[in-house]
A = this chain, B = another copy of it.
Amino acid sequence: MSQELHDLIAAFARHGDSGDGGVKRLAASSEDRAARDLLATEIRRRGLTLHVDAIGNMFGAAALVPALPEAVIVGSHLDSQPTGGRYDGAYGVLAGLLAVEAVAARATDRPGAARRNLVLANWTKGEGARFQASLTGSSVYAGTFPLETALALADADGTTLGEALTAIGYRGVSDLPFEPVSYVELHVEQGMRLDETGTDIGVVTGAWAARKLSLVFRGEPSHTGPTPMARRRDALRAAARAIDLVYDEVEASGTGAHASAARITTFPNSPNVVPSCVQVWFEFRHKEKAVAIALGDGFLTRTKAALLPLGVSVEIAVDERRGAAMLDADGVALALAVARDLGLSTLAIKTVAGHDALALQKRVPASLIFVPSREGLSHSPKEFTDEIALDKGLDLLTETLWRMVTAIG
């Protein structure tokens, strides 16, 4: 058993400990700073070179073949949701750290075997919690999200990500001096398939598509007391109908899609004023992009019809359509081969949740490997994976990285 891994997970869970088994470690918060400081210490302690880039991504580089520019990157994110678990993200970073250390040691024992350098990454803001939009650091690194736009993202208090990173001392200037050739991420599943089937390892072949719709409902402010009921133009009532329709739409479709309405802002949000403006963030997810889009269309049609008698208008503030991303097929084949060699059972699955690997895939062939999570719970303090399962993931990751670093051609 890798006691070091379990001790590291426990040590990092103390930064942002929510007192109920989970963590609240929002991106660029003081808790995130403490976890980053601890990671920097652990990186240096293992003889790796620390780099922090302009969006705060942290790298711990093992220069196995300093003369060559190519590197394999392994990583995940240390930030969490407000109701985060202790494994989501942190497991991938900490198992990555130990895997890099182990591969570097094997490379030292076998001079000439390594053909690529190896780098651990902690991507800034894997979660979209304090600042909206997720996978920010990895998307900037992949070149699909402009650095300046990312630094200008503002939280609810108007603090930008750039300011927050400066405040915690992680707005860096040290880009990673290697060219990435492949990326691997290890993560807890955030779904039930491995747990239900008793499988050791999930090899992720791709991601579900998603349509993210943010709608603004506009009514009219009036006094909650005397205003006659028939004259109220209640934006919160309209939003409530739409929220309930999300579930109806998905059930009626029979597509097995997932959908949610999880964020809401209400104005003026006073008990004595009929709400005049409400914004709600909706998501529709399915394996196929066309289904996710059609669900959103159906939902919009039903919502508009339901709102007609309420005197409330609706407009679309955001309509983001993410295609069903594919991950690296060679990476899938390699992980399956390694699992077979190690005697681990596997399942090829699609991820519903977003992951930094999906952002990286746009720049470099990327792989994503899951271990089981009890009852599939995540973004919850009840998130849990036992030590044996965590160790199996670490073993698989280490061997996969070794083969990636030493592969010929």
Contact = CB atoms under 8 A, between A and B. Distances in A.
Interface of A: 81-83, 127-129, 132, 134, 189-192, 208, 210, 212, 220-229, 231-232, 234, 236-237, 239-241, 243-244, 246-247, 250-251, 258-264, 266-276, 281, 283, 285, 351-354, 376-382
Contacts of A241: 240, 244
A240 B229 contact: no
Contact of A240 (B228, B243, B376): B243
Nearest to A260: B224
Contacts of A243: 236-237, 240
Contact of A268 (B129, B134, B247, B266): B129
Contacts of A269: 262-264
A270 B353 contact: no
Contact of A82 (B83, B220, B223, B268): B268
A262 B271 contact: yes
A336 B351 CA distance: 73
A273 B83 contact: yes
Contact of A378 (B223, B236, B237, B250): B223
Q: Which of A237, A243, A260, A352 has most chain B Cβ within 10 Å?
A: A260
A257 to B, nearest CB: 8
A192 B225 CA distance: 12
A222 B151 CA distance: 28
Contacts of A281: 271
Given A81-B270, A82-B267, A268-B129, A379 B229 contact: no
A273 B221 contact: no
A224 B271 contact: no
A263 to B, nearest CB: 5
A271 B250 contact: no
Given A127-B272, A226-B376, A229-B258, 8 more contacts: A81-B272, A132-B271, A224-B258, A225-B285, A226-B351, A236-B262, A263-B266, A264-B264
Given A83-B268, A224-B260, A270-B128, A244 B240 contact: yes
- Among A227, A261, A276, which residue has the most Cβ atoms of chain B within 10 A? A227
A222 B262 contact: no
A211 to B, nearest CB: 12
A352 B225 contact: yes
Contact of A379 (B222, B260, B267): B222
Given A83-B221, A190-B223, A236-B264, A247 B229 contact: yes
Nearest to A193: B226
Nearest to A306: B244
A258 B262 CA distance: 29
Contacts of A222: 377-380
